Structure 1
């Protein structure tokens, strides 16, 4: 799987939205930060347009993203925010130019659909904090800095503390994943990537626990969990319950649905809808190790030598 060219000072990063609208104030920090790193910043023409909850109509968002995708001067696209709307337009995107001149697609949450499409096309992308998240919350500085490091091609090394539900072991393969709700939504569609041989990572926000269970059941019944090399579980934030409790926490639900398999599993990675949301290179060959003392993910070009 190829990675787009890593960025150099003076390269251009575009900011757009394929989902919800935002406002200039929310993006001002991101624009300044990208410029401070030495990049040029261009903004999508419809970035601040409001059409219901979306950043413009489906046609406007599609047209804008296509123009930025096809522009050879743009080396990366950082999405302004998530929400909902990407899957409404994804089937109309023409990826021909992208395959000739791949560029970094950078975002998470609803943007998971685009990261999965890039994975399906054999191109790496970046699961990371989006432009509206460039704020001063504790932990955010590390998240923002991790974007710069990945765009410049610095090797990934991410770790997590030991967790009682972890399953030890080591594995290697391309990294795949993102928002669980989006992954479940993509099953059976032209955007769904192949799970076989991948290290899958999951995160989600604001779901009922039975919804989480239903999505894990969907992935399992569809055969998507059986042939993984490993499972990395990030933040399951603000999970809710019904008046009659579901009876298990989010991590326990996930652990139950992968208990039949032998691959390593680790919980608590700093990825998801929290201020500490470190950038992950989707599609990159990684080594994944889970020990009694903790777990790690790191770049490993020789990843296929692991079993």
Structure 2
């Protein structure tokens, strides 16, 4: 089967039982799982100090594996971006290595795209996804298998009906997408907080005419709106062909919000941008997540509320 290299470039692994479960499950599927020697290190809240995690990324790039899989996210990659071996990572991608992860891993993925043009895959992590106490989500596992077998061609989903049944039909941006699909656009994005933290840095990919996908966790809708507004004012959203919104989870509304919610964030965003804003993308800090090729050319089409994102040529 496949050679999977597990490494920890961000936060320390706090749930070692989940880590071991994830390794066992991948091995039970017939994969060769190689664990980085520093994968379980801990320094403060990180999986080792900064040089240790830089070295872990370098070992992943040199591993000869089919997939370099993050153990978990958390925080830490932005600290080490100046020291990562970008050229070696890009050469590893050319040889067939696929970097896979999400959350804090967004910093590595967008930095790789910005510095080298190399692609990676937004997808699961070891502990939260393969190491969960319940069985791994079937859709996530199937998408991961498609990646390993090099047979994935795209994904489809149904737009969320956050504005009421049939309301999305009246949206001009979505109506245009129904009549004219997007072709050959660069897919990019990931965790919204991480993406915004890279704006104005050398690790920001200047993607024009792309399809931007976003998700986040533990961020109240007003913080989500604030970050989206920053992207709007910076001209980022206006340079895209479409915006895909995944899951925004684990926040708590209060009486002080007085009706302010993710629904109103999306409504306001659609009133301010002249591009399609699609909701319901199955991606984020949730069990059911598809794998998305960051940096690849994709086609995007919409039939009613059914969206189709295709990268069959990857």
Q: TM-score, normalised by structure 1?
A: 0.87
Distance 1:188 1:153 in 2: 35
- Residue 19 of structure 2, aligned match among 2, 8, 27: 27
Q: Who is 1:193 aligned against?
A: 205
Is the contact between residue 216 and residue 254 of structure 1 (CA under 8 Å) also seen in structure 2?
Answer: no
- Residue 106 of structure 1, aligned match among 100, 105, 125: 100
Comparing both structures, which one devotes a greater share of its residues to helix?
2
Which range moved further: 264-273 or 23-32? Answer: 23-32
Backbone CA RMSD of aligned residues:
2.1
Is the contact between residue 153 and residue 313 of structure 2 (CA under 8 Å) also seen in structure 1?
Answer: no
- Residue 243 of structure 2, aligned match among 218, 231, 243: 231
Pairwise CA distance, 1:27: 1.8
Q: Who is 1:181 aligned against?
A: 193
Q: Who is 2:40 aligned against?
A: 48
Pairwise CA distance, 1:138: 7.0
Q: Please show how residues 277-288 of structure 1 align to structure 2 within 5 Å.
A: 277-288=289-300
Residue 263 in 1 paired to residue 275 in 2? yes
Distance 1:299 1:68 in 2: 25
Residue 130 in 1 paired to residue 125 in 2? yes
Q: How far does the alpha carbon of each residue in 1:13-55 deviate from its partner, in whole angstroms, 9 at most, with x for none? A: 2111111111442122322333344432111111112212111
Residue 79 in 1 paired to residue 103 in 2? no
Is the contact between residue 186 and residue 207 of structure 2 (CA under 8 Å) also seen in structure 1?
Answer: no
- Residue 159 of structure 1, aligned match among 156, 161, 183: 156
Distance 1:194 1:154 in 2: 29
Q: How far does the alpha carbon of each residue in 1:132-162 deviate from its partner, in whole angstroms, 9 at most, with x for none? A: 0213547713212211212322133322224
Pairwise CA distance, 1:291: 2.8
Aligned residue pairs, count: 292
Q: Who is 2:49 aligned against?
A: 57
Rate the CA distance shift 1:163–1:100 in 2: closer, same or farther, 3 A: closer
Distance 2:188 2:141 in 1: 21
Is the contact between residue 5 and residue 69 of structure 2 (CA under 8 Å) also seen in structure 1?
Answer: yes
Is the contact between residue 159 and residue 281 of structure 2 (CA under 8 Å) also seen in structure 1?
Answer: no
Rate the CA distance shift 1:256–1:142 in 2: closer, same or farther, 3 A: same
- Residue 110 of structure 2, aligned match among 100, 105, 116: 116
Q: Which ranges of structure 1 fall in alignment gaps of 5 or more residues?
A: 1-8, 303-307
Q: How far does the alpha carbon of each residue in 1:105-144 deviate from its partner, in whole angstroms, 9 at most, with x for none? A: 1000010111112222222211111000213547713212
Which range moved further: 224-233 or 56-65? Answer: 56-65
